[in-house]
Structure 1
Amino acid sequence: MKTEVVEKKAEKLAMKKIISYIILLVLVFVSAIMVVFQVFEYRHDYRELSAFNREKDDLNAEWGRLLIEQQTFGATAQIGTRAVTQLRMYSPPVAQTVVISLPMTSEDKK
C-alpha cells in the first residue's frame, strides 16, 4: 500500500514536470515569436523614419531655394526704387532715345 502511494506521488511528480516543461517550452516559443515581431516593427518604423527625414531634408532645401528666390525678386524692386529716389534715374522719353546701328562686316555675315 505504501508503494502504491509512493508510485502515485512519483507519477504525479513526473506529470507535473512534463507539464512544467511543456509550459516553459511554449513560453519560450511565444517569447521568440514576440522578439521577431518587435524586430520587424522596429525595422518598419526605422524605414518610415528615414523616409520622413529624407522628405524633411528635401523640403528644407526647397524652402531655402524659395527664400533665395524671394530675396532675388525683392532686391530687383528695391534696386529700381533706389535708382529712382536716390540717384534720380528715369527712363528717357522717346524723343531723347537714339538707336545706333553698326555696319555689318564680311566676318559678321559668316
Structure 2
Amino acid sequence: MKTEAIEKIANKLQTKKVVVYGILMVLVFISAIMVVFQVFEYRQDYRKLSTFMRERDDLNAEWGRLLIEQQTFGATAQIGTRAVTQLRMYSPPVAQTVVISLPQTPEQKK
C-alpha cells in the first residue's frame, strides 16, 4: 500500500513537472515572439525617425537659403534708404527724364 501511495505521489509530481515545464516552454515561446515583434516595431520607428530627420535637415537648409535671400532683399532696401538719406540721391521727375531709343536693325525687326 505504501508503495502504491508513493508511486501515486511520484506520478502526480511527474505530471506536475511536465505541466509546469510545458507552461514554461509556452511562456518562453510567447516571450520570443514578442521580442521579434518589438524589434520589428523598433526598426520601423527608426526608419520613420530617419526620414523625419532627413526632412528636418532639408527644411533647415531651405530655411538658411531663405534667410540669405531675405537679407539680400533687405540690403537692397537699405541701400536705397542710405542713398536718399546720406548721399541725397533721388529719382528725377518725369520732366527731367529723357528716353533714348536706338535704331533697329533688320534682324531685330523680325
Give TM-score scaled by structure 1 length: 0.81
* Letter in structure 1 aligned against 2:68: I
Question: Who is 1:29 aligned against?
Answer: 29
Deviation at 1:20, TM superposition (A): 1.3
Question: Who is 1:52 aligned against?
Answer: 52
Deviation at 1:82, TM superposition (A): 0.7
Question: Who is 1:106 aligned against?
Answer: none
- Where 2:91 maps in the other structure, the secondary structure is coil
- Where 2:81 maps in the other structure, the secondary structure is helix
How big is each residue's C-alpha offset from its partner over 1:56-102, in whole Å with a ceiling of 9 and x where there is no partner?
A: 11111111111111111111111011111111112334555566778
* Letter in structure 2 aligned against 1:9: I
2: CA distance between counterparts of 1:91 and 1:14? Answer: 107
RMSD, aligned α-carbons: 2.0
Question: Who is 1:73 aligned against?
Answer: 73
Question: Who is 1:9 aligned against?
Answer: 9
Question: Who is 2:19 aligned against?
Answer: 19
2: CA distance between counterparts of 1:94 and 1:10? Answer: 118
Query: Which 5+ residue runs of structure 1 have no aligned equivalent?
Result: 104-110
* Letter in structure 2 aligned against 1:34: M
How many percent of aligned residue pairs carry the same amino acid? 83
Runs of 4+ in 1 over 3 A off after TM superposition: 92-103
Query: Which 5+ residue runs of structure 2 have no aligned equivalent?
Result: 104-110
Query: How many pairs does the alignment contain?
Result: 110
Report which stretch shifted further, 64-73 or 93-102. Answer: 93-102
